[in-house]
Amino acid sequence: MPTTVPKLQPLFQALRARFTPALQHPFTDEQVRQRAQAIWQERTAKGQSGTAEEDWQQAIKALRAERRREQRQERRRQKQEQRINAKAHQLWETRQLKLRESDKRTAVDDWRDAEARLKESGWTRFVRWTGVREKKGWDFVQLLASISIPVVLFAGGTLFTYWNNQQQQQIAENRQQDEVLKNYFDSMKGLLLDKDHPLRQSKAGDESRSIARTLTLTALRQMDGKDGQRKGLLLQFLYESGLIKVGKKGAVVVLSGADLSGADLWRATLLGAQGLTDEQLSDAQLCQTTLPNDTVNNRDCKALGIQP
């Protein structure tokens, strides 16, 4: 073995001379070490085999590839800047040429312009100062567009806010009217189902009747004239519960003085109801309505678009 080593030394020197330039690189050991460690971690995660020397060489190749990519990007950026500078210089020369060609005025022309401007009126000088005469039709269109867009946006925002407030107010009012009707039904249900003093078995002058009448008149008064449907539901409830019919003990709830303005009484039955007058029903909506005297009234069918 010792006799063969001297024979191999020239071969080793030739290989070292051949691959030494390839092993040289401009990177620091810390950069190569970090990249080699990342390659080792990736290789280990994939379960691939390899040596630290291979990781080191791959790290150098990766760093060189990144360096070449950065250099290419830098060259492209420089070329782009050169093209932009050349184009900008060309535009500047064109603009200077146009200015030199248009500026062919003489001192006599300036003198005449000065005399004409001194003779101008205040309004003419104001118009010239604003530059309106130099504006073209498209310039005025752009001016109107720039003014109208904020105005339209402001008007649209104002209208939307107003509409939204109206909607919220209407929702609140409907919720309040629903709460009034619900509370009325709950109170009347309690009086009707009272085990000791049922409302239907009460007599004239009983406290339960006074409470029922007060609740009814108050609920009808709290419902405005636009809330005709809920008023109609309340009256239908009283009729079907047998509280407004004239019986042996008289009507449990007398409707004299009740506010029925706007009440929707379409197909409602008020036969035998006590206390209702023509004046109270004058402001109600009557269509196919059976009145206390057993007559059908179709006064408002046409206005409601209903065939009698």
Per-residue pLDDT of the chain (308 residues; tens, 9 = 90+): 444 445 556 655 565 555 444 456 677 888 888 888 888 888 888 888 888 888 888 888 888 888 889 989 999 989 888 887 777 777 777 777 776 666 565 555 665 666 666 556 666 666 666 665 555 555 656 667 777 788 888 888 888 888 888 888 888 888 888 898 899 989 999 988 988 888 888 888 889 889 999 999 898 888 876 668 888 888 888 888 888 877 667 788 888 888 888 888 888 888 878 778 888 888 888 888 888 888 888 888 888 777 76
| Amino acid identity at 268 | A
Query: Across-strand partners of 285?
Result: 264
At a CB cut-off of 8 Å and minimum separation 6, what does 213 contact?
253, 254
Res 215: pLDDT:
93
At a CB cut-off of 8 Å and minimum separation 6, what does 226 contact?
262
Q: How far is CA 93 from CA 80, 81, 84, 97, in A?
A: 20, 18, 14, 6
Res 159: pLDDT:
87
Enter the tokens of residue 46. 């994939």
Q: How far is CA 27 from CA 22, 53, 289, in A?
A: 13, 16, 101
Count H helices, E strands: the chain? 10, 2
Instruction: Report the alpha-carbon angle 289-295-298, nearest 5.
Output: 45
Q: CA-CA-CA-CA torsion for 41, 45, 48, 54, nearest 10 degrees?
A: -10
Res 117: pLDDT:
62
Res 2: pLDDT:
45
Enter the tokens of residue 63. 């760093």
Phi, psi of 296 (to 5 degrees): -100, 130
What is the pTM assigned to this prediction?
0.46
Enter the tokens of residue 303. 């206005």
What is the number of other CB atoms lying within 10 angstroms of the CB of residue 128?
13
List the one residue out of 185, 180, 204, 292 whose CA is nearest residue 253: 204
Q: How far is CA 78 from CA 75, 82, 83, 87, 109, in A?
A: 5, 6, 9, 14, 48
Query: Across-strand partners of 269?
Result: 290
Res 139: pLDDT:
61
Enter the tokens of residue 259. 């506010």
